[in-house]
Structure 1
Amino acid sequence: MQLVPSPEQTVLRQTVHGYLTESFSFPQRCIMLQDAYGLSRERWKGFARLGWLGIEVPEAFGGSDNTHAETAVVLDEFGRFLVPDPLLACAVLPARMLMEAATAEQRARFLPSMTSGERLFAVAHREAAGRGAACFVETHAVVLPGGRFLLSGEKASAVGADLADHIIVSARVGGSGDDVNGICLFMLEPELPGITRRTFRTIDSGSSADLTLQNVEVGPDSLIGADGDAGQALVRTSEHFIVGACAEAVGIMDAIVKQTVDYLKTRRAYGSTLSTYQALQHRLADMLIELEMARSILIRVLDTLSGADEHARRKDVAAARVLIGRAGRFIGSYGVQLHGAIGVVEEHIVGHYLKRLNVLFALCGSATFHMRQYTCAAETLREEHQLTTA
């Protein structure tokens, strides 16, 4: 387990931090959101030139060929600066999905245009009743003669799907519910007949869309990878997404703690700064403890994510979602409370941090679902340990 950042990760963090300090201050962010919500194509291509859109993509496809640890560094800084462009949802997630599920020919066809920023990709796999289950897919695909497919169903909260050039959609050709078998992935163009996008703004000033697919007919070239074999790829991709969201959340929490400390050191009441009040000092100490716990859990899950043990990954990812989510709510809510009335106005950043935390954890699925995931995985690991030591 790597507890200390490598020299390369330190340089990467300094580079990302310097760029975002210059271009993404909070006043600049407010100006950006006056013109458009969510993603800007101009800023997106700037990220591409810096190598961030393909940070885990092999160099052969225009990427930087880094690991998820480097991705976490970038996402941490994106959270700290509340960058409105959805790097996690529209670069990290679709790239990971293609790397896990696509054929070599499909990776060569799609990844270069993604890493260059020429084309924008979104993923629509979440369904309203899923509550976080990666393989909960009720959208169905009927196989037609000639290898064609007819897709019907609904997808919820697809970040960036309102602006995307390509949308990766999951659909079921067999099985039911959250069965890992019988799931396919399709690369769709949003202009296809039968696709309806209902665009909406999220509370963190991002953009998203619900998709309705009504008898959308696609050819065999739209199928990503093998027919009915995308379930495991969805699970692994979902794990990477959750860990990425946790990394962004840790960056946000760190910024909230620092922002709150600075505020209490300058705000005065009854002739003294607020930082001299013991009750507030204790609350800040509690926030710092939660932050360090969240950071430690992130380090642990980043180490587990590269391992081959499926149950250990599932257990640690579920624990990260639950515990970092809990820490985020604690730090975010008390960060706003300790700022008083100014914490809830649009002109102050601390309330925006809390909104982003809420959106991130909502996209990862419910804490109740992940508690069940943790319990099942931990029980399986316990049984395996008993068998090996018997």
Structure 2
Amino acid sequence: MNFDLSEEQQMLQDSVRRYVDKSYTFEARARLVADAGGFSRETWSTFAEMGWLMAPIPEAYGGLGFGEVETALIAEGLGRGLVLEPYTFCTVFPAAILRGCAGEAQKEALLSALGGGETLVAVAHSEPEARGCVAHVSASATRRSDGAYLLNGRKSLVVAAPMADRIIVVARSAGAVRDEAGISLFVLDPHGPGVRLEPYRLLDGTPAADIVLEDAVVPATALLGEEGKAFAGVQRGVDEAIVSLCAETVGGMEDVIALCAEYLKTRQQFGVPIGSFQALQHRMADMAIELMQARATLHRGLAALADPGLGDTSAVISGCKAQITKSAKFVSAQGIQLHGGYGITEEYRVGHHYRRLVLADAWFGNLDYHLARYAARIQAEGRTMAFA
């Protein structure tokens, strides 16, 4: 994969950066958290007008048909600006699932509305006991004699659920918990009977909710694709969402380093800027090295998405998430230390990057889960080579 940006890709990257710098200032973000619940429909419509919501949608369904790199460029720019509107969770994630699982009529209806910003789609895939395992689905879907489905169970950490127009629910129609077979997808009205939302704010102000399904009835037309065969599509959606989230994290790391560089130039001690102290220069160099490593790792994740022939795509992406999370923890923690500890306060932008990282680590499985998963892949490859 060629990671030298084309002219079109450079223009896309520049457009996101200009928007974040001019229209999504830190002060505007604080007002959004305080006054608008951490989400603005107006801002989301702006994303649609800029074409960003169309990026992961094929041209056949009204999208731009961009690839993984363009989507990552958008996510990275939004991560750099600490944008609260959930681009990864309500654009990249549902678009990937719909592309992989939905029928043609469903794609035409939902992908077009998603890309145009008319319909906000959240995905309810996680459960309290799943801990990152995509196949762990205990929420049940029982087919009735009239063809409708009865949904029961609890889904957790559903980002943007309180304001979503539709929710894609992952439920089990057959098999045991953690079986890959028997997983189905349903498009749910969040305000329908039998559906209860328990809303809350996450650490960075992002709105989310747990969804409790108590004999929620959905028609047969709510089923996405074939019954019991959604695992591969959901796994692909999770993989794309993880890489997008990693791109957001890399953008956040870049902003932390820029904030620290500016602070070290202006903060004075003993009559000189503290940036002149060699020990602090060494810290900045270490942070820059971690950023470079994280960006190279992001490139590996993008290559894995683009070329499944490189091996177990999901395991490779697990390794990417583990490394980028590790690098980001170092960079954000150093950023707070370089601000003298004040960086953790509400007034300092660098502390908000750390909060975002804590959430990014928890979403789709934490560092320990992905590190163990990637280590298992390396061990399996070692055994294969040993007996070759």
TM-score bracket relative to the smaller structure: over 0.9
Cα distance between partner residues in 2 of 1:364 and 1:328: 17
1:299 equivalent in structure 2: 299
2:107 equivalent in structure 1: 107
**Structure 1 unmatched ranges of 5 or more:** none
2:129 equivalent in structure 1: 129
Cα distance between partner residues in 2 of 1:341 and 1:153: 43
1:215 equivalent in structure 2: 215
Tell me, yes or no, if the aligned pair for 1:314 and 1:373 is still in contact at 8 Å: no
TM superposition shift of 1:232: 0.8
Note the 1:278-317 alignment, pairs <5 A: 278-309=278-309, 311-317=311-317
The more displaced of 161-170 and 377-386 is 377-386
Cα distance between partner residues in 1 of 2:12 and 2:80: 15
Write the letter of the residue equivalent to 2:204: D
Cα distance between partner residues in 2 of 1:21 and 1:280: 27
Residues 154-199 of structure 1 deviation map (CA, whole Å, 9 limit, x = unaligned) = 0001000111010000010112222111000000001111111000
Cα distance between partner residues in 1 of 2:362 and 2:341: 26
Q: Calculate percent identity across the aligned residue pairs.
A: 37
For the residue of structure 1 that corresponds to 2:52, the secondary structure is: coil
TM superposition shift of 1:7: 2.0
2:235 equivalent in structure 1: 235
1:75 equivalent in structure 2: 75
Tell me, yes or no, if the aligned pair for 1:312 and 1:381 is still in contact at 8 Å: no
TM superposition shift of 1:375: 2.4
Cα distance between partner residues in 1 of 2:99 and 2:314: 19
1:37 equivalent in structure 2: 37
2:98 equivalent in structure 1: 98
For the residue of structure 1 that corresponds to 2:134, the secondary structure is: coil
Residues 197-246 of structure 1 deviation map (CA, whole Å, 9 limit, x = unaligned) = 00000111110000000111111101000000001111111111111100
- 1:162 correspondence with 2:153: no
For the residue of structure 2 that corresponds to 1:145, the secondary structure is: coil
1:205 equivalent in structure 2: 205
Q: 1:306 to 1:173 in 2, by over 3 A?
A: same
Cα distance between partner residues in 2 of 1:383 and 1:219: 48
Cα distance between partner residues in 2 of 1:105 and 1:382: 45
2:324 equivalent in structure 1: 324
TM superposition shift of 1:119: 1.2
Aligned residues: 388
Cα distance between partner residues in 2 of 1:145 and 1:378: 48
The more displaced of 15-24 and 196-205 is 15-24
Write the letter of the residue equivalent to 1:355: R
For the residue of structure 1 that corresponds to 2:135, the secondary structure is: coil
Residues 19-73 of structure 1 deviation map (CA, whole Å, 9 limit, x = unaligned) = 2222111122122222112221111111111111121101232211100110000
TM superposition shift of 1:367: 1.7
Write the letter of the residue equivalent to 1:85: E
Cα distance between partner residues in 1 of 2:95 and 2:293: 29
Query: TM-score when scaled to structure 2?
Result: 0.97
Query: TM-score when scaled to structure 1?
Result: 0.96
Note the 1:1-390 alignment, pairs <5 A: 1-309=1-309, 311-382=311-382, 390=388
Tell me, yes or no, if the aligned pair for 2:16 and 2:74 is still in contact at 8 Å: yes
Q: 1:319 to 1:74 in 2, by over 3 A?
A: same
The more displaced of 67-76 and 171-180 is 171-180
Cα distance between partner residues in 2 of 1:59 and 1:92: 15
Q: 1:128 to 1:94 in 2, by over 3 A?
A: same
TM superposition shift of 1:383: 5.3
Write the letter of the residue equivalent to 2:252: I
Cα distance between partner residues in 1 of 2:73 and 2:147: 42
The more displaced of 111-120 and 378-387 is 378-387
Cα distance between partner residues in 1 of 2:143 and 2:214: 15
Tell me, yes or no, if the aligned pair for 2:32 and 2:39 is still in contact at 8 Å: no
TM superposition shift of 1:385: 5.5
RMSD: 1.5
For the residue of structure 1 that corresponds to 2:180, the secondary structure is: coil
For the residue of structure 2 that corresponds to 1:123, the secondary structure is: strand
TM superposition shift of 1:310: 7.8
Cα distance between partner residues in 2 of 1:314 and 1:120: 27
Residues 277-325 of structure 1 deviation map (CA, whole Å, 9 limit, x = unaligned) = 1211111111111111000000111011112248431232011111100
Cα distance between partner residues in 1 of 2:175 and 2:192: 26
The more displaced of 255-264 and 338-347 is 338-347
Write the letter of the residue equivalent to 2:374: Y
For the residue of structure 2 that corresponds to 1:321, the secondary structure is: helix
Tell me, yes or no, if the aligned pair for 1:157 and 1:209 is still in contact at 8 Å: yes
Cα distance between partner residues in 2 of 1:337 and 1:177: 44
Cα distance between partner residues in 2 of 1:60 and 1:323: 36
Write the letter of the residue equivalent to 1:253: M
